[in-house]
Amino acid sequence: MNIVLIGSGGREHALAWKIAQSPLVGTLYCATGNGGIADCSTCVDLDVTDHPAVIRFCRDHDVNLVVVGPEAPLVAGIADDLEAAGIKVFGPGKLAAQLEGSKGFTKDICAKYNIPTAAYGRFSDVASAKTYVREQGAPIVVKADGLAAGKGVIIAETIKEAHDAIDMMFDGAFGDAGVEVVIEEFMEGEEASFFALADGHTTLPLATAQDHKAVGEGDTGPNTGGMGAYSPAPVMTDALVKRVMAEIIQPTAQAMVDIGCPYKGVFFAGLMITKDGPKLIEYNCRFGDPECQVLMMRMESDIVPLLMAVATGSLGDHSISWSDDAALTVVMAANGYPGSYEKGSTIRGLDTASQHQNVQVFHAGTKQHSDTIAAIGGRVLNVTALGENVTDAQERAYSAIDNIDWPDGFFRRDIGWRAVAREKNSKD
């Protein structure tokens, strides 16, 4: 079959790498791809915001399935338009994608269906938002309601910090995403990411992961789109996985059916594991980035039948096999990220890094110029390794990074520190 993958980041490179391994695939196209995706797919210059153009391309190239990587096209309704044209698609429709597109929408679903989450309020003006903060006290969490590239969440330690965050969002720091804000109770515990597939009526658990949002080592500094991740998440026991499916994923899937927009795609649940059990922080309507990279490294099953089963409503006929090994990915970012950064610097040593055993270098913000790779984004590379445990995977990833020559980039040296500490303590 012929497949179109939409996206150009590290998540899409990992998906392309995994999809291309399937014997079921004829031609894999990627719109628009990056400097690494070109090694495992045919990159095409296609404007994915022009839905009729995407539909024409699919018809002209006998495309059997479209896999949508990022959230923005889903929130814009590309899945609805493809399905209306008779083209199978992996990814939720516009209404269902509001689980990520509107944090307030998701919180209201949680309230109605008794899905465990933080107490909250929704606000469309500064005064009432600040009044709520004064009533609740700090620490407290201030979120832009809409899509903000993973950066629209402020954990305020003081009331002043919360008020400053409210002002920033309503002043347009995140554009339309901050027209409304959601203010939440600060939850204490350990964060984890949980993934499950859904075809509109059946849910199937995938795997767990933990990521590192903060830009600096020790999880310090401003939030980013993610500086690294590992899988599985040690905090997510089998018992917790069952609770998450029963208390969070399945009620959400039923809620979406009840409101007339069955969810078809991947549920990415950001969780807080509290003393009272798992609680939902927020949903994403696509694979995480960089969590997808570690999931694809660990997945032993052919992903293409799973993607097609979601698109056709036949997920109940499938199961998934995972490696018992751990995977860890380290993000290499341009100096200055998540603030302003320069574009166009040359990256060397990628071939040597990729030769390390059980290591894959997934590209994100790169572009190929003749025989060289240039950095054109904030998060640029995902150096991903598989090992018998997180400690082993971490050592392999950093050993590969040491071969990469890129003075204009930086990375954290402590990705996986929680899991590594657990593994060390279990040996002592």
What are 266-282's pLDDT values in tens digits?
Answer: 999 999 999 999 999 99
CA angle 370, 376, 381 (to 5 degrees): 90
Beta strand 2-7 with 28-32 is parallel
- Please give the span between the terminal C-alpha atoms of the chain, in angstroms, as a whole number: 51
pTM beyond cutoff 0.85: yes
Helix (H) or strand (E) holding 384: strand 379-387
Write out the E strands in 39-112.
Answer: 42-43, 63-68, 89-90
CB-based burial of residue 319 (10 Å sphere; 0-12 exposed, 13-18 middle, 19+ buried)? exposed
Pick the range with the lowest mean pLDDT from 44-48, 144-148, 223-227, 395-399. Answer: 144-148
What are 34-83's pLDDT values in tens digits?
Answer: 999 999 999 999 999 999 999 999 999 999 999 999 999 999 999 999 99
pLDDT of residue 426: 82
Structure tokens at 406: 């890129």
**Which is nearest to 10 in space by CA: 285, 352, 294, 219?**
294
Give the type of residue at 349: G
Give the type of residue at 269: A
Confidence of residue 148 (pLDDT cuts 50, 70, 90): confident
CB 391 within 8 A of CB 377: no
Residue whose entry in the numeric block shows the structure tokens 């996985």: 241
